[in-house]
Amino acid sequence: MREPDSLHGSTVDLAAACADVLERVRAHAPRVHCITNAVAQSFTANVLLAAGARPSMTISPEEVGAFTASADALLVNLGTFDADRREATDTAIEVATEEDLPWVLDPVLIDRSPPRATYASALVKRGPRAVRLNHAEFAALAGAEPQAETLRRYALDALTVIGLTGETDVVTDGARLATIRNGHALMARVTAMGCVASALVAACLAVERDGWLATTAALLALGVAGEGAAAHARGPGSFAAEILDALYRLDRDTLVARAKVQ
């Protein structure tokens, strides 16, 4: 264990604050509208339901506005970068901005596709409350390797929260920086695990205005659930089911006891 971070009080306090956020998700069952890729849709909906949120998924340009307007948070995932989803995204962000709804950007695989990276940069300018990504995606977005300093600077410049996932997760709004050392290697063997992390961030943002705390709560919950799942799993197939079960059953005491966050 590292030393507690003096900025945020003890590790236990931060974990307890995260547990509060998750309890509010269960209590309020926020509606999360998800513009996401077809690979991730089903698992994303199931993760949100397991956590106590209510997902919707339409990308039809004719109705994405109404769905977003009646939602509590929005997820914009670039995993399939097609014309329909771009049009839906434009409408949904417009509505979210008007309604002051928080939204999360997940710039999936922008390191593999220059036009997608350009599009992601344009979306960052439209004010996501948080951006959840991995190392290669951050490098493609920020033009710099992800380190404490580059993450902080990007978050400050973009006025957003960066939630970087990997062996260690890092969450920063430029001022504060949390590190989460939970999770399990099997999480990288299940498709869309990053996508569902972003969806969980959206659910937490729906009930917590502090984007840094909401993002930390989401990534911590998924990491602790992943460890619980790995204890029962025999491989990535059973792990995918177990992590839903673990998230569904995750209680305050377990979260606080297992949290490796600071």
Binding interface with its own copies (CB under 8 A): 37-43, 45-46, 49-50, 55-60, 62-63, 66-67, 70, 79-84, 109, 112-116, 188-192, 233-238, 240-249
Cβ atoms within 10 Å of 7's Cβ, excluding its own: 11
Q: How far is the CB of 44 from its own copies (least distance, A)?
A: 8
Nearest CA among 208, 180, 199, 212 for reference residue 244: 199
Of 12 and 188, the one with the shorter C-beta distance to its own copies is: 188
Q: Give the nearest distance from C-beta 97 to its own copies in angstroms.
A: 20
Sequence-distant (6+) residues with CB within 8 A of 241 are none
Whole-number Å distance between alpha carbons of 140 and 142: 6
List helix spans (H) across 100-210: 114-124, 135-142, 148-158, 193-205
Q: Which H or E element spans position 33?
A: strand 31-35
Nearer to its own copies, 49 or 156 (CB): 49
Q: How far is the CB of 165 from its own copies (least distance, A)?
A: 16
Q: Count the neighbouring beta carbons within 10 Å of the beta carbon of residue 2.
A: 9
Q: Which stretches of 100-192 are DSSP H helices?
A: 114-124, 135-142, 148-158
- Smaller CB distance to its own copies: residue 68 or 216? 68
- Residue nearer to its own copies on the CB measure, 177 or 221: 221
- Smallest distance, Å, CB 12 to its own copies? 26
Closest distance between its own copies and the C-beta of residue 237, in Å? 3
Tell me whether residue 80 or residue 150 sits nearer to its own copies (CB atom).
80
